[in-house]
Structure 1
């Protein structure tokens, strides 16, 4: 009968443990070496490509269309407003009454020369001619020499005031008797000439009981002139845009015009900031055209003003934008992203995906896209982009 040797069993277990530890160490080392080797193995380079496309480039800049009155007229008066007059935003045709001060009407007529003096029998001048022309448009007969205030001019003025319900007055603002109609005159503050009619009240033209000594209100011509406002950052040289083609989308169609000279907003008469009832147009101009917005304003020329007038509400709200074309590219020219262009000394070239080096000449470049011309560069040709690190392009493609 054999006896068991305890030491032999202990030795076997120790040997087994050593073998297991050795196997584990070998596995860990092999795995680590494999991972390190895979990390050190260079990844295959990726070649990025882009496609040459036929298109028409255009160097455009956008701006907001603005409308301004062709002219503004300040109405002066002195006395007490005896009848509530036209309110802000109300329109008034030639021959209408702007306001009533001390029960004398302030009349509106069309003329380029402002009312600078009392008009009375025996006077001559362009202002008299304007008065005669306005009375004739209102239906009164004038047979005096043009620009000479004679009997027929006095009679027409007398009849006109009577039709409005007011007494005729002489040069001293005193009522004239029926038999003295030849003395009918127009005191200085009882007539306003506007360059164009109708007009719109930019501020209220008096409330009954109001005392006035100076400006009563401001009138704007309904006739508008237009400008387009560009960011100064987009248009550092305003003169460079003069004559540029302008495209303005309005009511489903595009209206074309040209960009003109800088628009002088300083000649637009201001409106009192404390007037509680500003017109929407005046508010739009005041709020949108301040110098703090850092914009430049250029005239809009050679455009169908009637179509713009029809869109007045949208323009006043600031919802109409236009695009000026600084440079028009070649129609349907081959174009490519500028990053695909390579230079070698004085030469510019592209690398096609079939390995060809094609010399090219560049034309207009807009927002990273350039016109190119070269042999065998048709629409759809694939160009290889330079590797980001300047190395040789590898395999694999990615098309922009």
Structure 2
């Protein structure tokens, strides 16, 4: 009797426990369905693009070197642009350093008896200033001396002989161009870079400053990952001094190693070679073809955008996550109304895809993710 009672109690207890577990599971709510997220078809283009940076480089650079001395008048400021022949770059020991046009650098003192291409350059300076020079081209004769003497006096510059000593009016035939009194540049204007051309009271240095001239160069730098996607001829746009510049991508530039770059090898070993078109500390670089009328100064920088592909006419834009595939593989979109819209996909980039189709209209709401609510799903 006692055993039968115990068995009955165990059976009843198990039944009660099973009912309690079932009731607790029934009370646990089912996971909530993801709320639907919608986007709109727009007529904005889909752009496959790469970002980079553009740097303006000097067309050519000339180092300004003058004899040892003291800067007695402040030189042209860094960044200043000198447009006229005869402008003063700086003054050393009270001798002005003049900017003249010429291909041959001023490497020697010039005066009576001198001859050569550099003398012809001085004669060219004098003729452009309005002085008549009858001496043979490249021969420093009396007419060249007379013209130079008058040129200096009319500009309130003390005439000097070859050695740099001041001369009197009676000594005009001995006038010359002391070494360092002129800097010849192939063209004007020039821009001062690398610091001012002399600080008042300072001793002259081996390289006083640099002059930049010629058409500026434009260089695009991108990441290593993006460089492989670029081909010459693609469109590049960037903003310079508030204006949008449209350029064309040129060839990839050779690798460069910055001076003083340190390698990981033993002391005295050569630094590691950079990848083609890659500067130490930067990414691969490409030349840019820019319209000639674009005004730029070496050192300017800007963000750039390279357009690799653009969606064509008749395409609309939608988030890529909205595109669905039927069993047969034909892509489609689900409208908020529940309608299935057949599409022809175009390019996809930056999370968006270009789509076209007979039933597509800009402004139509499209299901991106989640499920339609019962009231929105088709009956």
Partner of 2:315 in structure 1?
Answer: 333
Q: Separation in 2 of the partners of 1:43 and 1:148?
A: 98
Match of 1:80 among 64, 69, 86: 69
- Relative to structure 1, is the Cα distance of residues 145 and 261 closer, same or farther in structure 2, using a 3 angstrom cutoff? farther
Partner of 1:186 in structure 2?
Answer: 177
- Relative to structure 1, is the Cα distance of residues 79 and 295 closer, same or farther in structure 2, using a 3 angstrom cutoff? same
Contact 2:67 2:179 in 1 (8 A): no
Contact 1:63 1:228 in 2 (8 A): no
Q: Which has the higher helix share?
A: 1
Contact 1:97 1:107 in 2 (8 A): yes
TM-score norm. by structure 2 comes to 0.67
- Could you report, residue by residue, the CA deviation over 1:127-169 in whole angstroms, capped at 9, with x for unpaired residues? 4444334334444344556656554433322222333432232
- Relative to structure 1, is the Cα distance of residues 29 and 55 closer, same or farther in structure 2, using a 3 angstrom cutoff? same
Contact 1:350 1:384 in 2 (8 A): no
Match of 1:358 among 342, 345, 348: 342
- The alignment status of 1:203 with 2:195, answered yes or no, reads yes
Deviation at 1:302, TM superposition (A): 0.8
Partner of 1:59 in structure 2?
Answer: 48
- Could you report, residue by residue, the CA deviation over 1:215-274 in whole angstroms, capped at 9, with x for unpaired residues? 1401333777253554425642485265524242754x544444445678979999xxxx
TM-score norm. by structure 1 comes to 0.64
Q: Which has the higher strand share?
A: 1
Q: Separation in 2 of the partners of 1:186 and 1:164?
A: 15
Q: Separation in 1 of the partners of 2:173 and 2:307?
A: 62
Structure 1 unaligned regions, length at least 5: 1-21, 271-289, 388-392
Structure 2 unaligned regions, length at least 5: 1-11, 261-278
Q: Separation in 2 of the partners of 1:45 and 1:210?
A: 75
Q: Separation in 1 of the partners of 2:194 and 2:27?
A: 79
Number of residue pairs matched by the alignment: 339
Deviation at 1:47, TM superposition (A): 5.5
Q: Separation in 1 of the partners of 2:247 and 2:303?
A: 13
1:3-22 matches, cutoff 5 A: none
Deviation at 1:49, TM superposition (A): 4.8
- The alignment status of 1:166 with 2:158, answered yes or no, reads yes
Secondary structure of 2:28's counterpart equals helix
Deviation at 1:56, TM superposition (A): 1.8
Contact 1:55 1:331 in 2 (8 A): no
Q: Separation in 1 of the partners of 2:328 and 2:102?
A: 65
Query: Over aligned residues, Cα RMSD in angstroms?
Result: 4.6
Partner of 1:368 in structure 2?
Answer: 351
- Could you report, residue by residue, the CA deviation over 1:168-221 in whole angstroms, capped at 9, with x for unpaired residues? 324x65666656645543344332113433442633444576555x61401333
- The alignment status of 1:39 with 2:28, answered yes or no, reads yes
- Could you report, residue by residue, the CA deviation over 1:70-118 in whole angstroms, capped at 9, with x for unpaired residues? 4432222333226234164374553133334455443221334433444
Q: Separation in 1 of the partners of 2:35 and 2:193?
A: 69
